[in-house]
Amino acid sequence: MLTRGLRNVTVHLVMGLLILLLQGGCGMRIATTADRRASLAPYSRANIDSEPFERYLLGRTALLVSAPAVGPILPSKPEPWDSERIRVYAFGGNHSVAAAIDHRGYFLTTSHSVEKGAPYLTFRSGGRVRVVPARIVWQGNRSKREPDLAILHVPHRIDHVFKWASLSEVGPVAFATGLDPDGPRLCPECISGHVARVSRHSNRYPAVASIFHDAPVHRGDSGGPLTTPDGELLGINVLLRLSIFQPRPICIACRPDLEWLHSVIERDAHRPVGP
């Protein structure tokens, strides 16, 4: 009995110490809005193909909501391009992000973002903001150690999609697109960080690569694209790893085998459509 009591006391002391470390500012620190804005400040005037890089990245990013959004909204005083930024109201459920990867209406996001069924995607197409129910083409089964990835499709042509970067193009700086929640209002935003390392996992099917970086992501950024400074897609953010031994959380982006990804999309695009 005494041994069990000492063990319980020890467990409580260790848990209390960890809480104090976290609350006292030692160890990990969750990213704030100020952190996210500061990460982007050095690149505020950057361009991709003569286009403001925020506009370039956000124009290829969709918002994913588990319940219908209630009307896209526009700012009262838009910047020269800001009226093209997606803003929607959404109530209840989980919200995340998806990356446009094929003009025929295909998006890549995380499996855990669609665990409760097919979501709605909010994106720009044909000069309009559209809110469309998506169809799940493929979804990784995490209980079978499949990648935390999902391929979605909407019956609309997508004007702008990401081009895939080569893993050899992974550099020290990367950009990510996440979700900026302001009450029921949702809006995508860009952040930046530094790449720590890349790991390949060829023993899984499909094979994937993991890209570790320190961009200040937070909950709701799942499925958001991680890109090179040239706007080419490296992968999508799937996991935020917290540790009291690191000053900043590490985010892990997942990149599927591109040959496998393209084969899944081509099979789906040419599938027979019955009545």
Copy the structure tokens of residue 176. Answer: 């990510």
For 200-255, what is each residue's pLDDT tens digit? 887 778 999 999 999 998 878 999 999 999 999 999 999 988 766 666 778 999 99
Mean pLDDT across 159-174: 93
Q: Phi/psi of residue 120, each to 5°?
A: -100, 140
User: Residue 188 carries which DSSP code?
Assistant: E
Copy the structure tokens of residue 68. Answer: 């219908």
Q: What is the mean pLDDT of the chain?
A: 80
Q: Which of 36-45, 71-80, 137-146 has the highest mean pLDDT?
A: 137-146
What the chain holds in terms of domains, given with CATH numbers, is 50-161+262-269 (2.40.10.10), 167-260 (2.40.10.10)
Identify the pLDDT of residue 18. Answer: 44
Identify the pLDDT of residue 28. Answer: 42
Task: With 0.85 as the threshold, say if the pTM is over it.
Answer: no
For 4-29, what is each residue's pLDDT tens digit? 554 554 555 444 444 433 333 333 45
List beta partners, residue 194: 173
Identify the pLDDT of residue 245. Answer: 62
- The single residue listed with the structure tokens 């790991």 is 199
Is the per-residue pLDDT at 62 higher than 70?
Answer: yes
Residue 19, number of CB atoms within 10 A of its CB: 10
